[in-house]
Amino acid sequence: MSEATSGAAPEFSRILRLNELGDGRRDRTVEADAAERAALARRFGLRSLDWLEAQAHVAPDAGGCRVTGRVRASLVQACVATDEDVPAELDVPMDVRFVRGLDESGESDAEEIELREEDCDILPLEDERIDLGETVAQTLFLNLDPYPRVADADAKLRALGVLSEEDAGPFAALKGLKLGGGA
């Protein structure tokens, strides 16, 4: 559960009310300041989040609104093998649909939803507003490398005497056996 849904205020909040959209599309640029980036880095377990920006296109649609665009970030994660810094640059698409009347199971009572679930993320629209900052933060989180590794992590681990999965796995003992020919 994200902090936004658990009751705590999100670290990076940019509220947009749907009545600001009118009948048309609105383009927004949102960028996290240093304090917001530091708070998001703590929340997501990052060593640092040096830059976070998004270009968002917000348009009303049947049953709510849709946010599309790109999220860009410069960050540092910890290597899961060596605990060294793993810098990363992200430039990923964002496609989120906010739907009125979405229940806890993710089903909507809206009648004109012609979008397949795999086309975008679907979230409930609450109080006729969306939080672009939190939407960007969640898009960032979903696109982080879950197992960041430095390029030479395997070599560094071998030098420390750590066996690879292949060398320590259940078939490692069979590796040295040779099939004998029939006599």
Q: How confident is the model at residue 33 (pLDDT cuts 50, 70, 90)?
A: very high
| Cα dihedral: 10, 12, 16, 17 (round 10) | 20
Whether 157 is in a domain gets the answer no
Higher pLDDT, 120 or 100: 100
Contacts 24+ apart (CB under 8 A), 106-114: 108/63, 110/62, 110/63, 110/64, 112/62, 112/63, 113/62, 113/63, 114/62
Whether 89 is in a domain gets the answer yes
At residue 130, does pLDDT exceed 50?
yes
Per residue in 99-114, pLDDT tens?
Answer: 988 655 555 444 444 4
Per residue in 22-31, pLDDT tens?
Answer: 777 789 999 9
pLDDT (0 to 100) of residue 98: 93
Angle of helix 34-44 relative to helix 132-142, nearest 10 degrees? 40
Q: Global pTM?
A: 0.74
The two structure tokens encoding residue 32: 């996290």
pLDDT (0 to 100) of residue 21: 80
Whether 27 is in a domain gets the answer yes
pLDDT (0 to 100) of residue 104: 54
Whether 182 is in a domain gets the answer no
Whether 170 is in a domain gets the answer no
Provide the percentage of residues in the chain whose pLDDT is more than 90: 48
The two structure tokens encoding residue 91: 């430039």
pLDDT (0 to 100) of residue 4: 45
Whether 36 is in a domain gets the answer yes
Cα 11 to Cα 143: distance, rounded to the nearest angstrom: 18
Whether 7 is in a domain gets the answer yes
At residue 115, does pLDDT exceed 70?
no
Q: How confident is the model at residue 68 (pLDDT cuts 50, 70, 90)?
A: very high
Domain count, the chain: 1
Listing DSSP states for the chain in one string gives: --HHHHTSPPSS--EEEGGGTTTS-EEEEEE--HHHHHHHHHHHT-SEEEEEEEEEEEEEETTEEEEEEEEEEEEEEE-TTT--EEEEEEEEEEEEEEETTB-TTS-B--S-----GGGSEEEE-BTTEEEHHHHHHHHHHHTS-SS---TTHHHHHHHTTPPPHHHHSTTTGGGG--PPPP-
pLDDT (0 to 100) of residue 113: 44
Window from 72-76, 146-150, 160-164 with minimum mean pLDDT: 160-164
Whether 163 is in a domain gets the answer no
**Domain span including residue 106:** 3-149
